[in-house]
Amino acid sequence: MAAAAGSVAAAALWSEVNRCGQNGDFARALKSVNKILQISKDDVTALQCKVVCLIQNGNFKEALSVINTHTKVLTNDVIAFEKAYCEYRLNRIENALKTIQSASQQTDKLKELYGQVLYRLERYDDCLAAYRDLIRNSQDEYEEERKTNLSAVVAAQSTWEKVMPEDLGLREATYELCYNSACALIGQGKLNEAMKKLQRAEELCRQSLSEDSDVTEEDIEAELAIIHGQMAYIMQLQGRTEDALQLYNQIIKLKPTDVGLLAVIANNIITINKDQNVFDSKKKVKLTNAEGVEHKLSKKQLQAIEFNKALLAMYTNQADQCRKLSASLQSQSPEHLLPVLIQAAQLCREKQHAKAVGLLQDFADQHPANAAEIKLTMAQLKIAQGSVTKACMILRSIEELQHKPGMVSALVTMYSHEEDIDSAIEVFTQAIQWYQQFQPKSPVHLSLIREAANFKLKHGRKKEAISDLEELWKQNPKDVHTLAQLISAYSLVDPEKAKVLSKHLPSSDTLSLKVDVDALENSHGATYIRKKAGKLAGDNQQKEQGQGDAKKKKKKKKGKLPKNYDPKVTPDPERWLPMRERSYYRGRKKGKKKDQVGKGTQGSTTAGSSELYFCWSNLAVTDQMEMLPFGSAGALTGLLG
């Protein structure tokens, strides 16, 4: 009798659960399920329903606890999707992946979740394949969402992996698809096209949301925030920083709920401020520390934010904080260049240049792949210290750049400054030999030969310039200028050879010089003008007439005597010397201008002006380290879930 009554009660409770589920009242459904479990605590269906109700109510941790507590009943085959979904929502992405892969049967729901998990793990190639398979084998009302996710993956590949996106053939009929397409174009550097796509996305978004009468203008602006944020980023990349800053601040005033979007905008404002307006930057950096930011952005975005925090700490003279952040970044990415450059910059601010160079040298030895960039920075530091020769030695140790025209130009300039002409010529010779071996007769090769010849002629090395000039003349026998230089060089070394070569010069008859002498003399900058005959005759007549005139004598003015002049006192014989060089100078008396404590307003100090501003001249390293702005493509995760 009791069993029959229990079954009737259970049936009634199941009816209640079914009715509440259809109405979306999962809180009441959960109460009925709990009553069923009191009757039959190991009822598999009731436990599954309880997990679903908890998930629908957002209680993912409790739902996962129920699954883990009843592992004997709720096996992975029975409840794999629910378990993986709870782990995904709790940001346990690796666990979710393991749960999905351990399921015996890959249902459509698991495949959908698998694609989102791969996106969060930034495994974009696998994610792209998963969504292609889903779109190919699915026909339901969620096809548009899958295409949106597919375009998000392509945009992420273009932005973070610099992969050329393929044409998916998607009709951009929604603002999400237009937005993702714009993100992909930004990754390719096609900023103008991307801006047009974003403007189209804004139009589609307004049209779509305005059709719903319940949506207010504030709701539309909140939805447009991510599009406007990407527009501002494009403006920033185009150098329109004032427009970008204005749009960024407008978005912040809206107080969007997307912490990832706010973090990206705050970071980009900091990159615009750079070493100026640091107090505003310190306020904005708080937005990058909001809870949940680490789950909304990509690894590269998070890394860029941490780099900028370290730079901001350096600009605000928080040396310990700067060292702490840069050391943490280096431990996370030992091969990354920026943490070491930030540490070196901080050491330079503390005037520990030798220590900074040692730090950079150690990194270059440990990571040869980044040695070139590090050595360039080391050379810059040496130049800032005045050690030009040591800087040249460092630059010449970068083998992959030795032959580059920019490197040759820099080294020749530096050696010329040090009056080391032999080393400068050696740099030219090595570069020319490289091009002779790998790129003979290329424009760069011939240009280097020309510059080497001119340099040698300039410094009186005509004998050494002959071989270079002969090579140039062979390449272009009609080059009269090179031939003239060659003859000039041979005239000091081998006059007979110079005479032979002079026969190749064009004759004077072939040279037609149509020069207007009068126009040339009257031109601006003429230093000598030929006097006309008529004017000369007139001048001579005037001179003859005035020969008998007596010359007027100029009266000499009496010199002014100094004030308090006493003719009885002998003048100071050292009066023409500066005060410091006079024999009786004893220096200024000490203690006359001490810092006067207590003078001025309350709390004021009389520190030297050098303590009140940053000495940027010592920051040779930081000149190469701009803060890194980035787009908000990472916020696309919002479109995936």
pLDDT digits (tens, 9 = 90+) for 269-288: 999 998 888 889 999 999 99
Q: Of 225, 200, 205, nearest to 215 (Cα)?
A: 205
Residue 599 φ/ψ, nearest 5 degrees? -85, 145
How confident is the model over 31-47, as a mean pLDDT?
A: 86
For residues 390-394, average pLDDT: 92
pLDDT per residue over 448-492, tens digit each? 888 888 888 888 887 777 777 777 777 777 777 777 777 777 777
pLDDT of residue 512: 57
Q: Once rounded to an integer, what is the mean pLDDT over residues 90-108?
A: 92
Q: How far apart are the first and last CA of the chain?
A: 50
What's the mean pLDDT in 49-78? 89
Residues recorded for the chain: 641
CA dihedral 100, 105, 111, 116 (to 10 degrees): -10
Q: Which of 142-146, 166-170, 539-543 has the lowest mean pLDDT?
A: 539-543
Q: What is the pLDDT of residues 549-561, one digit of tens each?
A: 545 556 666 667 7
pLDDT at residue number 53: 92
pLDDT above 90: percentage of residues in the chain: 35
pLDDT the model gives residue 635: 31
**Reported confidence tier of residue 10, pLDDT bands at 50, 70, 90:** confident
Identify the pLDDT of residue 423: 93
The average pLDDT across 332-352 equals 90
pLDDT of res. 4: 53
**Residues of the chain above pLDDT 70, percent:** 82
| Residue in the structure block whose two tokens are 């040298």 | 361
Mean pLDDT of the residues in the chain: 80
**pLDDT surpassing 60 at residue 404:** yes
DSSP 87: H
Q: Mean pLDDT lowest for which of 89-103, 229-243, 527-541? A: 527-541
What was the pLDDT predicted at 525? 61
Q: Which two tokens stand for residue 445?
A: 């090769």
Pair 16, 32: CB distance under 8 Å: yes
Closest CA to 178 of 193, 162, 163, 161: 193
Contact (CB, 8 A) for 234 and 205: no
pLDDT the model gives residue 192: 95
pTM of the model: 0.70
Please write the tens of the pLDDT for every residue from 492-518.
777 777 777 777 777 666 655 566 767
Burial group, residue 38, by CB count within 10 angstroms (0-12, 13-18, 19+): exposed
User: Which pLDDT belongs to residue 64?
Assistant: 92
Q: Do residues 636 and 181 touch, judged by C-beta distance below 8 A?
A: no
pLDDT for 252-273, tens place per residue? 999 998 999 999 999 999 999 9
Check residue 514 and give its pLDDT.
65
Which of the pair, 349 or 481, is modelled with greater confidence?
349
Question: Does residue 638 surpass a pLDDT of 60?
Answer: no
> Which positions ≥6 away from 412 have C-beta within 8 Å?
424, 427, 428, 455
